[in-house]
A and B are shown apart, each in its own frame.
Chain A
């Protein structure tokens, strides 16, 4: 190793790159706003709210997914765990009639979560007990959950009229949009689980070396089932928020967000081989994507450019991860 301090400096830079990148694009859009439109990007409540709600949508799918990816697996079915939960919730509220009360809405939410949880249990059963590779297994349940959601919804969007649900989806707590508050609470819970509990330590160990946790006497099968359950339920909460915000349950509520969610996890420092990744990283990743989405539209570019931009960021994230390994690998 030629220069230990130099290498560790570069390494800490690379570890912090997503923070730096987020600051960089925020700075870029702010300068653009100041110079080109003589307004502000960052210091307008509307902009910040739009960005944070967009980031929350991504996070609700990405939080549970982070734990699954740290364990060395993937969950593609979250796209339709979200949709399934959204549709089930909407159907129950609609069946209860126009003036359904809080209790019905809560019950409908519970049923939506059960529907999503069912998808998670099937994933866990496939991956943990039948040893199906998670990419294939959850691609299967992606299709099954999609079909199930469309079948129960009769192939259409299930619109509802319910003030309680609408108040939940569009309301504020302490001035913050409820979707953001929900995502923040879930992020805290997932961060605690991953960073501070035995469950989290076993999740990291599982991603690095399954034998290490097995020989330590941990029930790996049960652990995997819980991971997929968590992933499906957090995605399901995303579906509940969707139905509440738009007063409609759509089977494809989560579909356009799936790839952004996966991207947020990888931009946040996770690796496809497992064993690394953090909730803080995923939160940053989700905000990077949300800022790009909103910022490009803000700059007046056609919205299609956001796909290109997010794609480029994903590629940069992978390159950064590789050079990190290169530097660490050279040191040992």
Chain B
């Protein structure tokens, strides 16, 4: 990677587009603290994040949603929402998981995303791909993420579920959350993006607004550096 520099504003969706091996994943891993850049800095609302651990970056408000979603399929939406930060209540001095409150919160946050949870007590493996994506996104919102990074969120989904995810992205934007979306699917890119940053072979091949460009130009930029 060389000279990759961009910013994301609140409520804005920036798409990192590029062919396989263009460096999209490397960029987001440097933002989320998984990789450390050899040069350059990551800032969030004036706070320097470079050099911090992935956990510290998360608590600073940057949530990464991976392709596999990292859900525990055998647990209900409530526990998935709170995984690692579960709520408990005390009974006779002993902490007990507060499943009811966690479920109610999950239903509430999901409702805010326009998703109705059919059975809040059922394990998430029984939910659709779009609903599962919504749980991962709900986790980000619930923990007040200011920036959500999504890695190919529609890659493994059918067409109706892809639409659900695009609608989710719109709702996240309307809540003032910044989004970095990784994609090489042109319809997705144009549907979601406020700005498109095209990466090719580790450098920025160009930056466009969807209104001032078209499929063809984006593809040419994605391929350009390889010619």
Contact = CB atoms under 8 A, between A and B. Distances in A.
B72 A332 contact: no
Contacts of B125: 328, 332
Contacts of B55: 217
A32 to B, nearest CB: 40
A291 to B, nearest CB: 30
B181 to A, nearest CB: 19
Contact of A201 (B71, B73, B83): B83
B84 A216 contact: yes
Given A216-B84, A217-B84, A192 B94 contact: yes
A315 to B, nearest CB: 24
Given A216-B84, A332-B125, A209 B72 contact: yes
Given A204-B75, A205-B75, A328-B126, A211 B70 contact: yes
A236 interface: no
B14 to A, nearest CB: 23
Interface string A196-228: 111011101101110111011110000000000
A276 B96 CA distance: 20
Contacts of B121: none
A209 B73 contact: yes
Contacts of B217: none
A279 to B, nearest CB: 15
Contacts of B96: 196-197
A331 interface: yes
B40 interface: no
B86 A198 contact: yes
State the main secondary structure of chain B at its contact with A: loop
Interface string B63-86: 000101011111100011001111
Contact of B74 (A202, A208, A332): A208
B214 interface: no
A275 interface: yes
Nearest to A216: B84
Contacts of B83: 201-202, 205, 212-213, 216, 218
A207 B74 CA distance: 9
A212 B80 CA distance: 9
Contacts of B116: none
Contact of A204 (B74, B88, B94, B95): B74
Contacts of A201: 75, 79, 83, 86, 97
Contacts of B126: 328, 331-332
A208 B84 contact: no
Contacts of A196: 94-97
Contacts of B72: 204-205, 208-209, 212-213, 275
Interface in B1-37: none
Interface string A56-93: 00000000000000000000000000000000000000
Given A197-B96, A205-B75, 17 more contacts: A195-B97, A196-B94, A196-B96, A198-B86, A204-B74, A205-B72, A205-B83, A207-B74, A209-B70, A209-B72, A209-B73, A211-B70, A216-B83, A216-B85, A218-B84, A276-B74, A332-B127
22 contacts: A192-B94, A196-B94, A197-B95, A197-B96, A200-B97, A201-B83, A202-B83, A204-B75, A205-B75, A208-B73, A208-B74, A209-B70, A209-B72, A212-B72, A213-B83, A216-B84, A217-B58, A218-B83, A275-B73, A328-B126, A332-B125, A332-B126
Q: Nearest 9 pairs between A and B by C-beta? A: A216-B84, A205-B72, A216-B83, A208-B74, A212-B72, A275-B74, A196-B96, A212-B70, A208-B72
